[in-house]
Structure 1
Amino acid sequence: MDTFNQAPYPTLTIDILESISDGVFTVDDQWRISFFNRAAEMITGISRAEALGQLCSEVFKSSMCEANCALRCTLQDQTPIINKPGFIINANGEQIPISVSTAVLKDANGNVIGGAETFRDLSEVEALKNALHGQFRVGNFISYSPTMRQLFESLPAIAQSPITVLIQGDTGTGKELLARAIHEMSSRSDQPFVAVNCGALPDNLLESELFGYKKGAFTGAARDKPGRFKLAEGGTLFLDEIGEISPAFQVRLLRVLQEQQYEPLGAIRSEKSSVRIIAATHRNLQQMVANGEFRQDLYYRIHVVDLKLPSLRERKEDIPLLVDQFIRKFNQKHQRHIQGITSEALALLMAHDWPGNIRELENMIESAFVLCSGEEINPVCLKTGLSLATSQDSEEQDINRVREVAERRSIQVALERNHYNRAATADELGIHKTTLYRKMKSLGIPFPEKNGRNRIIRS
């Protein structure tokens, strides 16, 4: 970016800066914003009137605002910075990836009077990069996994239908996140999403929590209280851990789902309900039905569409992706500037079995933020959360598992890019076709029903 030589800026210069798609702002020698163009307003969501005269650190909640401030470095050593990556937090609280370029701002006599910075919104570039790397995203879900891709592809049709959905998966796999994603993709997205954990309350409390109560229904009921069905009216009610409710309450819930009406405690008439039900459980409801622990009619009522979330140990190729996502999240939350994770620390994460799934991984990364004093998460930051052997043999085994996951992913991506033509895939990877066949077999990569020449593959 050229250095400004005049202040105030000529009309022609301002017209040019207003017409470009990059955000541009300048600061004076007190770090207060003196110019803020139209693109800067659009990218940040902050109006020019709000920005002018404010400290730039108050306007730009950036990953570079403290020790890594690009503009401060430029003003200190008089050296421009070109396309430094980072992110800002816009007015809606969203993290926006940007690249930054800086220059010294001088007056007509060559005196330094402040600094100038341009920043480019890289959101579309990041989205394209994700697509090219085979990432799939729905709401807060992001994955490389082919299993998750199939799940994601089914969600738009499911979301637009009012049918009841049952989400099954281990604890910590993100069942509520998936329920929220379905709600946000549906025609009810502008209506409430209400969640209740059915396993956390005994029957009497769960009944009043779901259906509400009228004044005087019991001692202490001094006023009417709406239940979750009422609060979710027109929207979505998420019944988490539905497998934990008692057989007696299953009968009550079945009647509500069948008749689409309920009676608050102490009421003399029923109230109609227009909510979409999404239920979730970590238990095997089919087995519970066989054991007489869960009503078969209720099971079939909620089991209209069944979505199964794989455990993290079934999609370990997503761990590096999830770690990057959590690092960005906790950099924002804790005002840190962690740049990434070392290969040794990642190897430890890849070797862990993750009984707590994604929730456990997220908690571990946040814990590492507390323990990590450098710019990267290293094995020392993770030791308190991982009960893994640290012998040389174990470390070598961990690294081999990381290599195996990376190799599996590279082969899967190459196969998809070449429409499962094994000869073309082997050529791209620089290996013989028989070597590719052997690796696919050893890494557990399934063979498609048809190859790249549309011929049936027979085992």
Structure 2
Amino acid sequence: MKGKILIIEDDQDMCDMLSFGLSRRGYSVSTFTSGREGLQAVQTTQTDVVLTDIHLPDKNGLEICNSIATDYPSIPVIIMTAFGSMDTAISAIRAGAYDFVTKPVDMDMLTLSLDRAVRYRNLQETVQKLRDEVKHPQHFDDLIGNSPAMEELFSKLSRIADSEASLLITGESGSGKELTTRAVHINSRRKDKPLITINCAALPSQLLESEFFGYKKGAFTDAKDHRKGLFLEADGGTLFLDEVGEIPLDLQPKLLRALEERCVRPVGGVTEYPFDIRIIAATNRDLESAVDDGLFREDLYYRLNVIKIEMPPLRSRGADILMLAGKFIEHFAKRQDKAITGLSDATAEKLLEYSWPGNVRELRNAIEHAVALTHFDRLMPEDLPEKIRLFRKNYILLGSDDPMELISMEEMERRYIMHVLKTTGGNRTLTARILQMDRKTLYRKLQLYEAQ
């Protein structure tokens, strides 16, 4: 495949002709007959080049070009026009267009322009990756997001990935603790050694001890052979103790001793075996409260909590929700062999409004559900699980600590606009859509707020 081309053209016959011709030339093509739908698709799907008509029923092609140049500067836009005047060309370039072509379209000339645009797009991505590597030298490909909360997480992971200190990852269920563990391991000096995971909540105390430390033949009824145990299997690498807060109290002293002495004695054995591993533990429980309640040993807590990482809940990550949704749509649409290009505006609003108690895991399941049910090329609100579809957010007075505070309508509007802008990760185009406000009006209000 030479690249993914998104066409915005209100003439369906022209869409079909361009799609057929470019597909035969090796491009992956998606078409939209309105500017609004096309811009939404740019936001939620991977696109290499946008090819748009200059005259559309709902938007001007130059406005579309300007929107993409502002919010997605690495995506080149080629404008089609039936009027190839110098004034049109100048207007297109000023709006941020990469190139423009005249109708009737010469497919050979268009292909040449698209080839150049795709090469430009690839170059832009390479430059951005190099910049990101300077900013974040490690690779955290499985962790998706550019919200302030995720930028802070990436920054901390970059600093601690190569450390040998024990790491405690806390956060709500489904927030990405296991993915973070994998990212830390891959970016550590132990990356060529095993990453072994055990769910501490899945086994009773006796079996958990055998899993940790191994056992000798005949140590108990079913011990028909020797077993090394996970501490020794992970030697040289990383041992991930998932749900560490669920380790039974009677096993905690044995775990503490192993961590302090860096050696284990298999169940039923007398010989101790040294190990060299990094410990990463994760929990969705408040371990400090568990310590206060006598349910978790304080000395073990401090042994595990040398470095602490708190995973941000999905509801605090704003536009990361749509970024993740786009990735999940791409994954499940491919698996189910469906041509789904993204989300409708109304669906995007539903996803941003929902509170996501199950975090990224719940979002992934919701998108899989929607992809399976939809009959459209974009996910609609009716495709979502009922609890998300019917969710109604309880809004409070934004930015106020005093529920009785009296403020003007203008101040209430300002607070709400800034709240939506923060939720969308600063994406002004999406903010305007959610607010059902013209982009120029939004820009004017934001300039006014900045001047105050």
Please tell me whether residue 323 in structure 1 is matched to residue 325 in structure 2: yes
Amino acid at match of 2:303: R
| Separation of aligned partners in 2, 1:191 and 1:235 | 5
What number of residue pairs does the alignment pair up? Answer: 332
| Separation of aligned partners in 2, 1:296 and 1:212 | 26
| Separation of aligned partners in 1, 2:123 and 2:280 | 32
Correspondence 1:54-203 to 2 at 5 A: 84=28, 125-126=124-125, 138-203=140-205
| 8 Å contact from structure 1 (residues 347, 402) kept in 2 | no
| 8 Å contact from structure 1 (residues 228, 237) kept in 2 | yes
After superposition, give the CA deviation of every residue in 1:105-148 in whole Å (9 maximum; x if it has no partner).
xxxxxxxxxxxx98967665446678999x98723112122122
The normalised TM-score by structure 1 is 0.62
Which residue of structure 1 lines up, in the alignment, with residue 244 of structure 2? 242
After superposition, give the CA deviation of every residue in 1:422-444 in whole Å (9 maximum; x if it has no partner).
xxxxxx95457662377xxxxxx
SS at structure 1 position matched to 2:390? coil
Which residue of structure 1 lines up, in the alignment, with residue 227 of structure 2? 225
SS at structure 2 position matched to 1:215? coil
Unaligned 5+ residue runs, structure 2?
7-15, 31-45, 51-113, 396-413, 429-441
Greater relative contact order (Cα 8 A, min sep 6): structure 1 or 2?
Answer: 2
The normalised TM-score by structure 2 is 0.63
Correspondence 1:287-366 to 2 at 5 A: 287-366=289-368
Which residue of structure 2 lines up, in the alignment, with residue 252 of structure 1? 254
| 8 Å contact from structure 1 (residues 166, 303) kept in 2 | yes
Superposed CA RMSD:
4.3
| Separation of aligned partners in 2, 1:410 and 1:75 | 32
Structure 1 residues 252 and 437 mapped into 2: Cα distance closer, same or farther (>3 Å)?
farther
Structure 1 residues 323 and 403 mapped into 2: Cα distance closer, same or farther (>3 Å)?
farther
Correspondence 1:330-409 to 2 at 5 A: 330-386=332-388, 388=390, 406-408=420-422
| Separation of aligned partners in 2, 1:213 and 1:319 | 45
| Separation of aligned partners in 2, 1:97 and 1:124 | 14
| 8 Å contact from structure 2 (residues 175, 359) kept in 1 | yes
Offset of residue 249 of structure 1: 1.0
| 8 Å contact from structure 1 (residues 260, 272) kept in 2 | yes
SS at structure 2 position matched to 1:251? helix
Which residue of structure 1 lines up, in the alignment, with residue 213 of structure 2? 211
Offset of residue 187 of structure 1: 0.6
| Separation of aligned partners in 2, 1:123 and 1:205 | 52
Structure 1 residues 168 and 376 mapped into 2: Cα distance closer, same or farther (>3 Å)?
same
Offset of residue 316 of structure 1: 2.8
| Separation of aligned partners in 2, 1:401 and 1:369 | 35
| 8 Å contact from structure 1 (residues 256, 262) kept in 2 | yes
Amino acid at match of 1:221: A
Structure 1 residues 330 and 63 mapped into 2: Cα distance closer, same or farther (>3 Å)?
farther
Unaligned 5+ residue runs, structure 1?
1-22, 25-42, 44-61, 65-71, 87-95, 101-116, 395-399, 415-427, 439-459
| 8 Å contact from structure 2 (residues 369, 385) kept in 1 | no
> Per residue, is there more strand in 1 or in 2?
1
Structure 1 residues 309 and 215 mapped into 2: Cα distance closer, same or farther (>3 Å)?
same
Structure 1 residues 430 and 99 mapped into 2: Cα distance closer, same or farther (>3 Å)?
closer
Structure 1 residues 199 and 75 mapped into 2: Cα distance closer, same or farther (>3 Å)?
closer
75-84 or 275-284, larger mean C-alpha shift: 75-84
Structure 1 residues 123 and 209 mapped into 2: Cα distance closer, same or farther (>3 Å)?
farther
| Separation of aligned partners in 2, 1:326 and 1:78 | 26
Equivalent pairs: percent with the same residue? 35
Offset of residue 81 of structure 1: 5.3
Offset of residue 335 of structure 1: 2.9
Offset of residue 413 of structure 1: 7.8
| 8 Å contact from structure 1 (residues 74, 81) kept in 2 | no
